[in-house]
Amino acid sequence: MVDPEGHVRMVIAGLIRQISLFSIISFFAGLCAYSHDRPLLPGDPQMGLNALINDNMAVGPGLTTLSEKEWDNLWLVFPEKLKQEVLANPGRKHQITAERYGFVLAPEIHVKRPVGFFSNPKKSDKWEMNCMACHAGTVPSPTGPQFVIGAPNNNLDLMGFMQDRIRLAIHYPTRSSFTLQDFVSIPLYKKILNDNPSNLTRGTFNVWRTADIYLNLRNPDLSLNAINLGWLLIGKSVSYGSQPADMDPPTWWNTKFRNRLWIDGFAPKEAKMNALQIMHPENPIGEMEQTFVDVLSFIEQIEAPRYPFPIVTSAAERGRKVFHNKCHHCHGSYENQVVDYPNKTIPLEQLGTDPVRLLTGLSTEYKRAVKDTWVAQGGSGDIRDKADGYMAPPLTGVWASAPYFHNGSVPTLHGVLFPDQRPKIWKANHSRYDEAKGGLLVEEYTREQMASANRSENDSIEKRRYYDTSLNGKSNAGHTFPARLSIEERMDLLEFLKTL
């Protein structure tokens, strides 16, 4: 079980790993030396892409890192059946490894390593994870999944990857890149997992718990808060009290239409806000403002992929009229390839979707702390420390962004439109697309069936393939507005949504 605290774990694992006096002094010296007043150039999309692929945009050191040696040897700790598959197909070893954790392989981006890892020149033997691990996924096509930057990675099992790294270090230490400090971090890592579970299902996670703790390790000017770091290093809680639950990564191609960021819109769309989720002490945040500008310029030029399967045009045209009459007030209009998006927040009592992200996911104290930092300086300062609802998202490319709702609890557009038919427990086949229902091809399970499967399955990675909507933060309730429409109207609307 994992959670944003899972990210915290990573953070902590990495921090403990850097526990030497030299490292702490280096952190302190580096963080105090930042200059925040350099003139900024207009955003360069190509530089932004390069930063996402190759630069130090790490989400955190520690258990989310990887080495080439480990990448070659993780198969040694696979379940026996999967291990035999590697032995029978040695040329597919890396493909099988990637499929186990939901990593994406794209030789046009990286020849040796999975998408979402970059080679840190300061750590020649390590690859560190960055934003692309969650925000560069695949979309369906008639010839199979296609790699798309900005698509959510709805199959990533971050927890399984970290657990296998630990197993490799324990059972095959000479095949691992673990250090003594990594081992020291494991008890703390387990404590955080128990306190705030995350990544309970593949493809859903939350970096906000980590973001909360990272911000506690810095003063408002981004210099190191040595006292809080000291507390963290001895296992004490350092937090503004955020208690987030798993979330589905949003698409990047709709960022251009928004004026505020994240599902509750608590922050304005400003380049420096990208710093909040990579705030760990090794990142020279104050020196990265131009990078954030470039990254945002790249993200804003991403276009949504077009639906690649047949569409019933007559039904889609009828659905377009339904959408215009019933849905555009919240989600915007999409006439003649022109998007008019209202940036509208829907009150929780009206929307009815899972409340955890809104009520406890980001604490008021955390948001106020953000407002006091360099991240918010020089911008509008419009940080909303309280929100009463979720923003209705833009819908371009919605066909390619399954599963749906902010927590990824509804696997298909059909489920969004037919609230009474949403599966309670489901398991997705990530290599297939459900053209009829518009989304992930899933099998539904009863609680008894899932329990029986879990009893016979010793591999925790397999257990995280099930999405259980009864768990904290994973409810699939709410957004029942489509139930007011006829069945025919909803089916036509489903066909129209494929055209966006």
142-187 tens-digit pLDDT = 999 999 999 999 999 998 998 899 999 999 999 998 877 566 666 6
Alpha-carbon distance values, 30 to 57, 129, 224, 284, 301 (Å)? 16, 21, 9, 7, 33
Residue 309 in this model has a pLDDT that exceeds 50: yes
Distance CA 459, CA 448 (A): 18
Is the per-residue pLDDT at 224 higher than 70?
A: yes
pLDDT band of 191, cuts 50, 70, 90:
low
**Distance, CA of 473 to CA of 394 (rounded, Å):** 22
- pLDDT at res. 202: 93
**Tens digit of each residue's pLDDT (9 = 90 or more) over 332-363:** 999 988 899 999 999 999 999 999 999 988 99
Rg (C-alpha) for the chain, rounded Å, is: 22
318: tokens are 């009828």
5-27 average pLDDT score: 40
Average pLDDT over residues 287-303: 95
Mean pLDDT of the chain: 87
Which is more confidently placed, 378 or 115?
A: 115
Q: Which residues of 122-161 are buried (b: 16+ CB within 10 A; e: fewer)?
A: eeeebbbbbbbbbbbbbbbeeeebbbbbbbbbbbbbbbbb
Residue-level pLDDT at 36: 53
Q: What is the mean pLDDT of residues 448-474?
A: 86
Residue 223, pLDDT above cutoff 50? yes
In percent, the amount of the chain with pLDDT more than 70 equals 87
Which pLDDT does position 25 carry in this prediction? 37
Burial label, 472 (beta-carbon count in 10 A; 0-12, 13-18, 19+): middle
pLDDT-derived band at 303 (thresholds 50, 70, 90) equals very high
DSSP3 helix / strand / coil % (the chain, rounded to 5) = 45, 10, 45
Is there a contact between 2 and 203 (Cβ–Cβ < 8 Å)? no
For 99, counting Cβ atoms within 10 Å of its Cβ (0-12 exposed, 13-18 middle, 19+ buried), the class is middle
Q: In Å, how far from its chain's centre is CA 55?
A: 19
Mean of the pLDDT values across residues 432-440? Answer: 96
